[in-house]
Structure 1
Amino acid sequence: MTDRKKDVSFLTNLPGASQKLIFFGADLSIPESFNAAIEGCSGIFHTASPMDMEMNESEETVTKRTIDGALGILKACKNSKTVKRVIYTSSASAVYWQDKDDNVMDESYWSDENILRDLKPFGWSYSISKTMAEKVVLEFGEQLGLDVVTIIPTLVVGSFICPKLPGSIYTSLSLLFGYKIKLVLLSANEILVWHKWYVWVSQLFGPEFDSYVMCMKKYLMENVSTIDELPRGDKNPFGFSHLPMVHVDDIARAHIFLLEHPNPKGRYNCSPFMANIEEIAQHISSKYPEIHIPTLEELKDIKGDKLPHLTSKKLMDAGFEFKHSLEEMLDDTIQCCKDKAYL
């Protein structure tokens, strides 16, 4: 966290926080600010990364900050003389963006920065920064003689403690959050009318998510010139028929597993399976009939893109076991959203 005053009560209120949790002022733009936090540690989880989805900063600025921050932390780890291993949290966005149509991708796949620059998908500078940063930390760790391992989660779901709804849950459960409204106000005189249901419409709707909604409005205004360019459900660039998800408890356990493993090497995908939209809808409609979502009949007309499956074979071959089923992922997420009045 930085020196700016922020409400961290959701952390300080955790059980045992007063005895086990210590806060340090730090900033990724000032890598040496992490020295005090790293001193005396034997293992480091590097989970922070700038996320400028509104593209207020240039790709170069975002990428430089991400890489410089990561390298600065690695140097501090090396200088500490106590850190034995660093676990760097990467992103599936460092894998997916390439010109291959393979249905399954292992750790040998990397996103292509040039493809991202050409296509400029939503949040593309973040994807570039994560791709380049992961490559750099692996290479630099080897040069320093520092044990660096990267872990690649997909959409993280389950219970959350942060005060705002995480974007990964917003995307994964778009069936819940996108069903309320069918119009998007782009400006005083412009309204985009969606002609049918789209799987990922939650990216656009919901008064609870003003900042995220504004990001997508800005993106559409800059990249969609006519109503004819909007997705019609056959090949929807904003929607997916299959989604890779991982429970937050499993991804947390995977971080600890790799920290404690005797000899982990390189990258590790962390995603147990692909969930198709029909499976998600079936579970929600049967267990939560009070929640209004599109019917299975309506969903049959949707042919969104199917993201490749990031196989976790390498992680499981090392001995890791995923604990949570799709049903548990959905139940934990929905219950948490209810508890926090999002549903």
Structure 2
Amino acid sequence: MDMKVESKGKVCVTGASGFLASWLVKRLLLSGYHVIGTVRDPGNEKKLAHLWSLEGARERLQLVKANLMEEGSFDGAIMGCQGVFHTASPVLKPSSDPKAEILNPAIEGTLNVLRSCKKNPSLRRVVVTSSSSTVRARDDFDPKIPLDESTWSSVELCERLQVWYALAKTLAEKAAWEFCNKNSIDLVTVLPAFVIGPSLPPDLCSTASDVLGLLEGETEKFQLHGRMGYVHIDDVAASHILVYEDKDAHGRYLCSSTVIDNNDLASFLSARYPSLSAPKRFEQLNRPYYEFNTSKLRSLGFKFKTINEMFDDCIASLVEQGHLPSP
């Protein structure tokens, strides 16, 4: 028996076939963990092929069925795991009933996973993937003071502007803290900015599709952002493992490498990748200026990759998968 594998123990990753979760599974396997991944349909070979091809998957990966909206459906996956990484989250296009389709799955899904965690005596720590959108949706902050983990987005503002994703993430994270504090579960949350990087699943999720659209000259999706934090997908996965393993880690952790305005992003992309059709500029929006203070994560020894690295790696992957022509 490989002792390194044994010593790292067993962890569960929810929504294991997703954009970020796949990368987290890859990193956990490389680190020597035994990973139980929950998916909607373990028999869907095409959708899960990228997970089975990961190094260490045949020896230390199990994929099991679970449904966010079914209470108790995570019991089997979580029982016996020392750690749980809850990354599964509905990122749906707003519909006629956003509350039912986005808010309820995010909140109830998180609570269903945590209810299963509560039943597991082996549990050491839970890491929940939240979002930097749980911090920056406010209209009363001082732009001269970078936003940090002590800030929460305004629920009232999110409802008024109908930014359902930020609202869902904010309410789900607050529900997680309330449940874990009440049930003495050791919780740490990671709040990534907009995630850029290679997609392991061949079918691009909405985040990766939006980036592909941007590189092909579409401005619509990014126009709404105005100003945005960006982070490499590998940094997000690595930070999840760091806050799980570091016994001093506690509370919330903002995970963002660079915050830039759309027009600076456009200038950067067109200068660095002249053969791509990335937009040269965006319509100027009157969006509040903000920066993120990521000193809390950096204090654990974390170093972020640059915006050059995240887009280089992302574009190389899109070219390799046939989504973009070779530059």
- Normalising by the smaller structure, the TM-score range is 0.7 to 0.9
The CA deviation at 1:303 is 2.1
Q: Does 1:111 align with 2:153?
A: yes
Structure 2 residues without counterparts, runs of 5 or longer: 1-38
**Pick from 160, 165, 180: which aligns with 1:141?**
180
Alpha-carbon distance change, 61 to 326 in structure 1, aligned in 2, over 3 angstroms:
closer
**Equivalence map 1:142-221=2 (5 Å):** 142-172=181-211, 175-179=214-218, 200-202=219-221
TM-score normalised to structure 1 length: 0.74
Alpha-carbon distance change, 280 to 93 in structure 1, aligned in 2, over 3 angstroms:
closer
TM-score normalised to structure 2 length: 0.78
How far apart are the structure 2 equivalents of 1:4 and 1:262? 33
For 2:298, give the aligned amino acid: M
**Pick from 23, 26, 48: which aligns with 2:88?**
48
**Equivalence map 1:236-251=2 (5 Å):** 238-240=224-226, 242-251=227-236
2:18 is aligned to none
Q: Does 1:70 align with 2:110?
A: yes
Measured against aligned partners, the alpha-carbon deviations of 1:10-50 in whole angstroms (never above 9, x if no partner) come to 22222332112111110011131111111111011000112
**Pick from 253, 272, 280: which aligns with 2:257?**
272
1:126 is aligned to 165
Aligned residues: 281
Measured against aligned partners, the alpha-carbon deviations of 1:178-216 in whole angstroms (never above 9, x if no partner) come to 35xxxxxxxxxxxxxxxxxxxx3256xxxxxxxxxxxxx
2:298 is aligned to 316
> Structure 1 residues 271-280 or 6-15, which shifts more?
271-280
The CA deviation at 1:284 is 3.6
How far apart are the structure 2 equivalents of 1:125 and 1:278? 25
The CA deviation at 1:277 is 4.1
Alpha-carbon distance change, 144 to 326 in structure 1, aligned in 2, over 3 angstroms:
same
Alpha-carbon distance change, 176 to 202 in structure 1, aligned in 2, over 3 angstroms:
farther
Alpha-carbon distance change, 167 to 177 in structure 1, aligned in 2, over 3 angstroms:
farther
**Equivalence map 1:81-100=2 (5 Å):** 81-100=121-140
How far apart are the structure 1 equivalents of 2:211 and 2:147? 20
Measured against aligned partners, the alpha-carbon deviations of 1:82-134 in whole angstroms (never above 9, x if no partner) come to 011000000122222222243321112112222122222xxx33322211110
How far apart are the structure 2 equivalents of 1:274 and 1:170? 20
How far apart are the structure 2 equivalents of 1:43 and 1:54? 32
For 1:42, give the aligned amino acid: Q
Partner-residue secondary structure (3-state), 1:98: coil
Q: Does 1:2 align with 2:44?
A: no
Measured against aligned partners, the alpha-carbon deviations of 1:268-305 in whole angstroms (never above 9, x if no partner) come to 1000221344554454444433223344xxx3x74233
Alpha-carbon distance change, 258 to 99 in structure 1, aligned in 2, over 3 angstroms:
same
How far apart are the structure 1 equivalents of 2:61 and 2:92? 28
**Pick from 307, 311, 316: which aligns with 1:330?**
311
Measured against aligned partners, the alpha-carbon deviations of 1:60-89 in whole angstroms (never above 9, x if no partner) come to 564333222222222221211001100000
1:289 is aligned to 274
Structure 1 residues without counterparts, runs of 5 or longer: 180-199, 204-235
- Of all paired residues, the percent bearing the same amino acid is 32
**Equivalence map 1:301-312=2 (5 Å):** 302-304=283-285, 305=287, 308-312=290-294
Please tell me whether the aligned partners of residues 78 and 146 of structure 1 are also in contact (alpha carbons under 8 angstroms): yes
1:206 is aligned to none
